[in-house]
Structure formats: structure tokens, C-alpha cells
Amino acid sequence: MTREEKIKKRQQRAYERKAKRIAKDKSYLHTSNLFDRGYSFSWGRRYQHGSVFVCEMRYGDCELRGYCNGDC
């Protein structure tokens, strides 16, 4: 393998790694926008990993309490 081929291979791997990160970030943003959380990567990531509780009616006070009050 020549030097140019090694460089091209390394650049391709870097491109794939960055594209994977961009795809994840888009997914997190889409999730946060569905629940009206604005432009929040971290909230979308926590929700997708199961760290955030959201009731069926998407009430914020249910999220703070950790349980739904039955209005759903």
C-alpha cells in the first residue's frame, strides 16, 4: 500500500466517523423537537437512552415529579 492510499483510507475512515456523529446528532435534535424541547442535543440523547421520563400528554410537571397524575 502506497503512502497516498494510506492517506486516502485514513481520510475515508474519518469521513465515515464524522458522518455517523452527524446522523446521531440529527436524530437527537429530531427527538427533542418532537417534544418541544427546542434545540437540545442532550435532552434528545437522554430521552433516547431512557434517562428522561415523559408522560403520554407530554406534560412538564409529570416529568419533574417522575410520575403522571392520571390526566392522560
- Give the pLDDT confidence of 33-54 residue by residue, as tens digits: 988 888 888 999 998 998 887 7
Q: Which domain does 60 fall in, by range?
A: 3-65
pTM for this model (two decimals) = 0.70
Question: CA–CA distance from 44 to each of 6, 20, 32, 33, 35 (Å)?
Answer: 37, 16, 5, 8, 9
CA dist., res. 40 & res. 21, Å (int): 15
Residue 9 lies in a domain: yes
Kindly state the average pLDDT of the residues 3-7: 96
- The answer, yes or no, to whether residue 67 has pLDDT greater than 70, is no
| C-alpha angle 52-38-33 in degrees, rounded to nearest 5 | 70
Residue 61 lies in a domain: yes
Residue 71 lies in a domain: no
Overall domain count for the chain = 1
Residue 59 lies in a domain: yes
Residue 70 lies in a domain: no
- The answer, yes or no, to whether residue 59 has pLDDT greater than 70, is no
Residue 28 lies in a domain: yes
CA dist., res. 40 & res. 63, Å (int): 16
- The answer, yes or no, to whether residue 63 has pLDDT greater than 70, is no
The percent of residues in the chain predicted with pLDDT above 90, rounded, is 50
Cell numbers given for 33: 423537537
Residue 72 lies in a domain: no
CA dist., res. 48 & res. 30, Å (int): 11
